[in-house]
Structure 1
């Protein structure tokens, strides 16, 4: 018993230290969001004298965080939806249908995961410009969706591979079309994988910065990441540290809430996907 307790303690101590190292800056940022600039300079590590929401109001009203949050919701939601719309039928075709070049096409999709996105930024810039989708949140949503397509296909095919083919054969005998089999049988049975892919993609789209920086140029189209970067640049001249911390809190709250709600499904999906893959 003592040996087990000792071994567990040895393992847990580094994990606790690492957790504190990660959580403390977040806790410090949240406290800073409720402080005035004077408090931040006078007592940066202490508790605020009074919890004020003035920094949040300032960030929301004077630094256009409201429109940036809206743009981020649009880009994230539309990007995740487009990814699923392309990934689900593609995964089904690659996993269930046998045609010439099937394995080669699947390999090309998976190989695309290894290609750095930075190599495609310049061609994408000119492509979006020719399509009149540059500086457009819908154009950015399309880029996001395509960028996560290989990962989504990789995860979804591993789930679809374990669905018994006898279900499809029985449905086909009953006269169900391939589209009906996909949307009424395969898709519901792949719910765990779909939820996992959706949450992972949404977190990726919500936090993405570099592509938004390249493809968005008008301040009214800024996503939340770009708005925070703008506030960060302004802080060195205005000392609006409290506003910057407040905007960061606004950015991380949806991610934390989303992960807290779907934590078990995400872990279950990644575990099952790893086992099934």
Structure 2
């Protein structure tokens, strides 16, 4: 039997539809704008292009050095993602499943850090990175973003791990398994939906990270895609090649859009499973 939809459901449906339109419209507008000539763009920004100028994409790729930027981004995001996700899983396991003195104090300190704006750590972080000779280094950025734990991701994965039954873990200890073996062989596989969710959020955050690479990288050959597109935008002060810039923006959007489209089910399931179990 079908459920009757109320007027309120219809209103919410229209609100969500309008909200989706505000998100999708700029993306679509940038894409078809990237297929115009500059003359067509300045004549009418809303008119569709007469012919599809795919050459704008090759021009953006070569002029803005997007190939090198994507390679730098791949190393920075990939290494930070693997190391950071593993450390988050390890921290969440220790703080939720291992009993030790001072655990509540550590959790309280972590919760307290939520009230501190992250921008406050910018200056001491830069001084530390400079003294360790890690500025202008992609490896330095990897270290900074991997070790610097995000409280939101830690809380998300910790909540998921807390919902897992302790009986499986206790049975493994009775069979003689070590703490490391339990974590690797039992907790990691059982926590995989939550870990994948955290990894996706981390990827989107790292890929779209601008402030860190902008501050610490001074060599254009090491720029990540965000900094490279920022520098391309600065060139518009002296030129008006907006269609090429739009093509570059379209290229830069592809990885994050694909990740969200193909893994959105993992995001929804991983974010809610910990709340409904146990």
The normalised TM-score by structure 1 is 0.94
Instruction: Quote the residue 1:116 is aligned against.
Output: 117
Q: After the TM superposition, which residues 58-207 of structure 1 pair with which residues of structure 2 at under 5 Å, given as runs?
A: 58-207=59-208
Distance 1:165 1:11, change over 3 A: closer
State the 1:274 CA deviation: 4.1
Give the SS at the match of 2:101: coil
State the 1:148 CA deviation: 4.2
Residue segments in structure 1 that go unaligned for 5+ positions in a row: none
- CA distance in structure 1 between the aligned counterparts of 2:6 and 2:160, rounded to whole angstroms: 38
Q: Is the 8 A contact 1:83 1:145 kept in 2?
A: yes
Residue segments in structure 2 that go unaligned for 5+ positions in a row: none
Q: Is the 8 A contact 2:70 2:225 kept in 1?
A: yes
State the 1:36 CA deviation: 1.5
Q: Is the 8 A contact 1:55 1:246 kept in 2?
A: yes
Instruction: Quote the residue 2:263 is aligned against.
Output: 262
- CA distance in structure 1 between the aligned counterparts of 2:157 and 2:58, rounded to whole angstroms: 42
Q: Is the 8 A contact 1:196 1:265 kept in 2?
A: yes
- CA distance in structure 2 between the aligned counterparts of 1:60 and 1:258, rounded to whole angstroms: 21
- CA distance in structure 2 between the aligned counterparts of 1:186 and 1:151, rounded to whole angstroms: 20
- Runs of 4+ displaced beyond 6 Å: none
Instruction: Quote the residue 1:38 is aligned against.
Output: 39
Give the SS at the match of 1:100: coil
- CA distance in structure 2 between the aligned counterparts of 1:75 and 1:159, rounded to whole angstroms: 27
- CA distance in structure 2 between the aligned counterparts of 1:148 and 1:274, rounded to whole angstroms: 22
- CA distance in structure 2 between the aligned counterparts of 1:110 and 1:269, rounded to whole angstroms: 22
State the 1:245 CA deviation: 0.7
State the 1:228 CA deviation: 0.6
Aligned length: 277
Q: Is the 8 A contact 2:163 2:274 kept in 1?
A: no
- CA distance in structure 2 between the aligned counterparts of 1:223 and 1:71, rounded to whole angstroms: 6
State the 1:205 CA deviation: 0.5
Instruction: Quote the residue 2:228 is aligned against.
Output: 227
Q: Is the 8 A contact 2:88 2:149 kept in 1?
A: no
State the 1:254 CA deviation: 0.8
State the 1:269 CA deviation: 1.0
- CA distance in structure 2 between the aligned counterparts of 1:82 and 1:111, rounded to whole angstroms: 25
Instruction: Quote the residue 1:4 is aligned against.
Output: 5
Deviates more, 1:140-149 or 1:190-199: 140-149
- CA distance in structure 1 between the aligned counterparts of 2:73 and 2:210, rounded to whole angstroms: 11
Give the SS at the match of 2:113: helix
